[in-house]
Amino acid sequence: MESTLVNPMNGKPDPDELKELLQDDSVHSRLPGANRGLEFLYDVPLQISVEVGRSKILLRDLLKMGEGYVIELDKLAGEPLDLYVNSRLIARGEAVMVGEKFGIKLTEVVSTADRVENLG
């Protein structure tokens, strides 16, 4: 079976083919090390970030910044925060306090199909 998983025009994975492969159990059994499950991936480090909002500013305003400067963000108070893993949107949630630190309580997880579609 010949695979066209990567589009030769842009070098990115084809989302439809990825979905098909993820749903095909026979593919998993043919992969090397398939019998050991996902345990071998557990120690892979991931970069997690939470985005409160975004803003565009002029360079002159950036140079004027100092303590107490306020930057207006594009999100309204109370809107969900975006959780990214390796720069990919994975979930949304709300800010919570965990002891003396901030945390995020997940309220919506992006579906697997949407995550696969946004790989490219």
Q: Is the pLDDT at 67 greater than 90, yes or no?
A: yes
37 and 51 belong to one structural domain: no
108 and 57 belong to one structural domain: yes
Among 25, 5, 27, 3, smallest CA distance to 15 is for 5
Q: Is 61:71 a contact under the CB 8 Å cutoff?
A: no
Number of independent structural domains in the chain: 2
Question: Which pLDDT belongs to residue 1?
Answer: 43
| Cα 119 to Cα 41: distance, rounded to the nearest angstrom | 19
Residue 28 belongs to what domain range?
A: 1-42
Question: Which pLDDT belongs to residue 42?
Answer: 86
Among 28, 45, 46, 25, smallest CA distance to 37 is for 28
Question: Which pLDDT belongs to residue 33?
Answer: 54
37 and 55 belong to one structural domain: no
pLDDT in tens, 75-100: 888 899 999 998 899 999 999 999 99
Q: Of 58 and 9, which is predicted with more confidence? A: 58
72 and 52 belong to one structural domain: yes
Identity of residue 39: E
Question: Which pLDDT belongs to residue 8?
Answer: 61
pLDDT in tens, 11-60: 666 677 766 766 665 555 555 555 567 788 888 999 999 999 999 999 99
